[in-house]
Amino acid sequence: GQSLEQPSEVTAVEGAIVQINCTYQTSGFYGLSWYQQHDGGAPTFLSYNALDGLEETGRFSSFLSRSDSYGYLLLQELQMKDSASYFCSAGGGYQKVTFGTGTKLQVIP
Amino acid sequence: DVKVTQSSRYLVKRTGEKVFLECVQDMDHENMFWYRQDPGLGLRLIYFSYDVKMKEKGDIPEGYSVSREKKERFSLILESASTNQTSMYLCASSLEEVAAFFGQGTRLTVV
């Protein structure tokens, strides 16, 4: 089976940097992706890591270490609109895609 | 623009009813997924399909079935709705194991 673990809540100050960690256990692993979900909305895709290392997309970066079964999402220059839930997701065998339980990020002034 | 459309935003059904949730995507994606989302439990995979007429059980398939007769349409069926199936249901599609595009969700209440 597959399981992904994330912290349930994180609070950070506007303008700061925050890191959301994700550890995974999967039977078959293709890559780790990240999604953002605002209250009442659908998840939207943020980033994907198939290989070890850092991927940068604007203020958001994502990191993967396959040897450690670990990844993180880094959000820089936090804005109030970044307050949302963030999910990591692992792609496994036979196109099965499993999500973590999500991290609720609260950005405070 | 990428689009995944779910047939209803809100739905109220009675216990024991057969419920159909429809999902249509216009991106020619092979893979389609059904998740349910409950507070504190994240998104849990119910069923997925990687091709027409192909389906695979996810992590919580009990009480559900699916149908994929056409590439663009993936239906979730609750054979006999129960109150513990009250939830937000999310459909998604993707070309590979990532970059899933989600529909707006169906909030189902079973009374």
User: pLDDT tens digits, chain A, 109 residues: what are they?
Assistant: 668 999 999 999 999 999 999 999 877 778 899 999 999 899 998 998 989 999 998 999 999 999 999 999 999 999 999 999 999 998 765 567 788 899 999 999 9
What pLDDT was estimated at residue B99? 61
User: How many pairs of residues across A and B have Cβ atoms under 8 Å apart?
Assistant: 76
Q: Is the dihedral of CA B51, B55, B56, B60 positive or negative?
A: positive
Contact residues, chain A, for B40 at CB < 8 Å: 8, 101
**B110's tokens:** 């079973």
What is the average per-residue pLDDT within B49-78?
A: 94
CB–CB contact B90 A45 (8 Å): no
**Nearest CA distance, A33 vs chain B (angstrom):** 6
Reading the block at residue A48, the tokens are 């994907």
pLDDT for the residue numbered A27: 72
Mean local confidence (pLDDT), B61-83: 96
Q: Does A71 touch chain B (CB under 8 A)?
A: no
Residue B40 has pLDDT above 90, yes or no: no
Taking alpha carbons only, the member of A26, A32, A13 closest to residue A89 is: A32
Partner A contacted by B40 (CB < 8 A): yes
Q: Do B43 and A43 touch (CB under 8 A)?
A: yes
Residue A33 CB-half CA count within 13 A? 24
In angstroms, the CA A86 to CA A36 distance is 5
pLDDT at B96 over 80: no
Is B88's pLDDT higher than 90?
yes
Lowest-pLDDT range of A42-46, A95-99, B10-14, B91-95: A95-99
pLDDT confidence bin for B95, thresholds 50/70/90: confident
Residue B11 sits at the chain A interface (C-beta within 8 Å): no
pLDDT category of residue B39 using cuts at 50, 70 and 90: confident
SS3 for B50? coil
> Would you call B99 and A45 a contact, using CB atoms and an 8 Å cutoff?
yes
Per-residue pLDDT at B92: 92
Of the candidates B59, B90, B101, the beta carbon closest to that of A45 is on: B101
CB-closest option in B41, B96, B105 to A42: B105
Determine contact: A96 vs chain B, CB below 8 A. Answer: yes
Give percent of chain B above pLDDT 90.
75
DSSP A36: E
